[in-house]
Amino acid sequence: MSKARFLIITGASKGIGRASAQRFLNAGYTVINISRSACDIAGVHNIGWDLSNQDWQASEAQLLDMLPEQAKITLVHNAAVMTKETVADIRADTLRDVLELNVVAPARLNTRLLKVMSEGSSIIYISSTLGTKAVANTHAYVVSKHAVIGQMRATCQDLVGRQIHTAAICPGFTETEMLSEHLGANPEMRAQISANIVLGRIAQPAEIAETIFFASENPVINGTVIDANLGQVEN
């Protein structure tokens, strides 16, 4: 009998996280969502957990109670926050808050879950195209997503001998609530974005979910950064 497989994913109530929960559920995984809002997909186990809160004791205990002593786990660090600011006006507490959710929370989850992750498990980080470049007016987010890629690479080196692999997925513009909030009601900007994508459109969450699933199942890509952006037009 094959060992039960678990997906533990943060921020699966919407967007890429929700699509990923569905993809892994379809593949027979037990799916556990960690987020403040529940995922509405039938069969997903939800833990209401604010990862930016310093007190994890109760939520951590709830999660570990759902897992065997050793399990094949795919851990997907998906939850993130994007703020709008520049180097000239960013507040220190804004940067701390963004880093707490986007970078520190994944590190804390790793330390908790590596104790129960068996060989064949994986840790997948969701970075961004802004993890390798930058645009104006999203200073804290850009800093955090660069840090996520560094965190993935450090994870790879630290797991020598564990038979647990890792990768960072860098989605481009994807049809999510975060993108809609960032763009606002601006069809001209949306058209401009699509014009700078080789395939002429914005990616769908299910496409990114498929990339995450591929990375989780293929240890040969250990330590790899995967761009999932439909191709960027280089000017």
- Per-residue pLDDT of 36-49, as tens digits, reads 999 999 999 999 99
For residue 51, what is the domain's CATH number? 3.40.50.720
CB atoms within 10 A of CB 186: 11
Span 142-157, pLDDT tens digits: 999 999 999 999 999 9
Which residues face 225 on adjacent strands?
168
Residue 1 binned pLDDT confidence (cut-offs 50, 70, 90) = very low
Residue 28 has a CB neighbour count (10 Å cut-off) of 9
Asked if residue 222 is part of any domain, the answer here is yes
How many C-beta neighbours within 10 Å does residue 5 have? Answer: 18
Domain presence at residue 96: yes
Q: What is the mean pLDDT of residues 107-115?
A: 98
Domain that holds residue 27: 5-176+205-228
Residue 106 lies in a domain: yes
Phi, psi of 87 (to 5 degrees): -60, -25
**Closest by CA position to 225, among listed 131, 114, 102:** 131
Instruction: With respect to residue 194, please indicate whether it lies within any of the assigned structural domains.
Output: no
| Residue 112 counted as domain residue | yes
Average pLDDT over residues 19-42: 98
Q: What tokens appear for 221 in the block?
A: 């890509």
Q: How many domains does the chain have?
A: 1
- Cα radius of gyration rounded to whole Å, the chain: 17
Helix (H) or strand (E) holding 206: helix 205-217
Query: How crowded is the C-beta side of 74, counted as CA atoms within 13 Å?
Result: 30
Name the average pLDDT for the chain: 94
In one-letter notation, the amino acid at residue 88 is: A
Q: What would the mean pLDDT of 99-112 be, rounded to a whole number? A: 98
Q: Place 34 in a pLDDT band, splitting at 50, 70 and 90.
A: very high
> Residue 134 falls within a domain, yes or no?
yes
Whether the per-residue pLDDT at 182 is higher than 80: the answer is no
Residue 187 lies in a domain: no
233 found inside a domain = no
- pTM of structure: 0.95
**Given pLDDT bands bounded at 50, 70 and 90, which one contains residue 176?**
confident
